[in-house]
Chains A and B, each alone.
Chain A
């Protein structure tokens, strides 16, 4: 990884066209019976439009994917805190980004704190949050761009 310092922007990534079938799979794995994830009539009754609603945990996972790619492994993520601000619906594109807020050298690597977010492309903020990631010098991170 090139220099990481306070203010460094994480490369932005986009999860394109959230799929209704994926939302159903996650509902099964979560054992989540909320019908807004699979029943369009329920979505309509809830006044949420005409597309099923992505789980907040799935949108949070797009941030996890982003951090894992950036840091080089899933194990590098030490913490992630997310506040859920708005819904992501099937068909939405979701943009994920972050900015470094702290860099501290610790035993075994460098602990990087970031502000992170997930936005519906062309729309609302879905998640705002923060993360801590351990950057291990032995596992270089791909450069930006």
Chain B
């Protein structure tokens, strides 16, 4: 049975996640630039997509574990709803970063086809040794009973 919206909000809103650490290895930066068709940066500035990568690798839980927290059932479909990157300063290749992560807003709405669509916001703040570099806010959607 699918969890109620009220229970989901109560269980997850503002819940702290473990966070993590990452170092942007130069070989991964080169491979990513090639895979994204990006022009390499001569000054060692990492592709801003590293913020997205960091948010996924350093939430402190896997996406599968997030699905468990969201009580995803066999007929529920996970969708990546949105992603917002705020880049205060660029990340750099060869540099280590740490993150803090939390679940933000949890909500629910009904789609045009009548399905229930629950949303879970995950906020990951990224910092280096000299302070914050940016924040990534991702919204995961769980379409209940869609599969």
Contact = CB atoms under 8 A, between A and B. Distances in A.
A79 B47 contact: no
A61 B53 contact: no
Contacts of B79: 84
B130 interface: no
Q: Is the interface of A mostly helix, strand, loop or mixed?
A: helix
B80 A26 contact: no
B3 interface: no
A81 B84 CA distance: 4
Interface in A25-72: 25-26, 29-34, 56-58, 60-62, 64-65, 68-69
Given A73-B45, A79-B85, A62 B57 contact: no
A80 B48 contact: yes
Given A56-B83, A84-B79, A84-B82, A26 B32 contact: yes
Nearest to B91: A74
A15 interface: yes
B90 interface: yes
A133 to B, nearest CB: 10
Place the interface of chain B in its size category.
20 to 34
B32 A29 contact: yes
Given A15-B37, A22-B34, A31-B57, A61 B84 contact: no
Given A26-B36, A65-B37, A83 B48 contact: no
A32 B82 CA distance: 17
B49 interface: yes
A13 to B, nearest CB: 10
A58 B35 CA distance: 9
B47 A82 contact: no
Interface in B39-83: 39, 41, 45-49, 52-53, 56-57, 63-64, 79-83
Contact of A74 (B45, B82, B83): B45
Closest 3 CB pairs of A and B: A22-B35, A81-B84, A25-B35
Interface of A: 15, 22-23, 25-26, 29-34, 56-58, 60-62, 64-65, 68-69, 73-75, 77-84
16 contacts: A25-B34, A30-B56, A57-B49, A60-B49, A60-B52, A61-B47, A61-B48, A61-B49, A64-B47, A64-B49, A65-B39, A73-B41, A77-B87, A81-B82, A83-B81, A84-B79
